[in-house]
Amino acid sequence: MINKLHGSSHELRGDPYRFTRRHLLGVVWGASTVALVGQFSVALYNYLKPQPVVGGFGGKITAGLAKEFKPGSVSYIQAGHFYISRLEDGSFLALWQRCTHLGCTVPYVSAKKQFQCPCHGSIFNRRGEVLAGPAPRPMDLFPIQVVDGKLIVDTSQAISRDKFEPSQATHV
Ligand code: FES
């Protein structure tokens, strides 16, 4: 019918369904348009969808392989602003470096096996418990997941606590 409207010579030859070069170009153009719109839609969706924070403070941080932390050791994970404290029984705590008094950064003093706050003298042990000073509660924790032997620490939500409980530690 289209051929008739356009006065195509194909119908005149008695073959109204013959696939012409014009048809081919139309199909190619249509397919290209659909592909382009599809690609644009996917790119737009990927741009607009909310992205989880990964790899920096405020997101999930890979602290390392669990087996690389020795029992009784404390390791600073700078990207996440926390310490991995591996307790003597092999379990793990992720302790936020922030002092629970007024928020100063608390360094670990390995010679004393203590966290010592330089601001007002609070001292914490490797479980984050307060040994001295004005800090009102133990160091906050971040949740730990073990995935393929690696410790994944979620720094999006600090857990405050009144005291240490063994259930707070993560076992591999
Ligand atoms: S901020 Fe750490 S003791 Fe005051």
Overall average pLDDT of the 46-62 stretch: 71
Overall average pLDDT of the 41-54 stretch: 58
Q: Give pTM, 2 decimals.
A: 0.70
Overall average pLDDT of the 86-112 stretch: 98
Atom of ligand 1 nearest to the CA of 102: 1
The string of pLDDT tens digits covering residues 110-136 is 999 999 999 999 999 999 999 999 999
Q: DSSP strand E in the chain: where?
A: 60-65, 74-77, 82-86, 92-96, 108-109, 114-116, 123-124, 130-132, 141-142, 144-147, 150-154
- Mutation choice for ligand 1 from 115, 116, 117, 131, CB with most ligand atoms inside 8 A: 117
Overall average pLDDT of the 50-77 stretch: 87
CB of 134 closer than 6 angstroms to any ligand 1 atom: yes
Domain extents in the chain: 2-48, 60-168
CB of 107 closer than 6 angstroms to any ligand 1 atom: no
**CATH code, 60-168:** 2.102.10.10
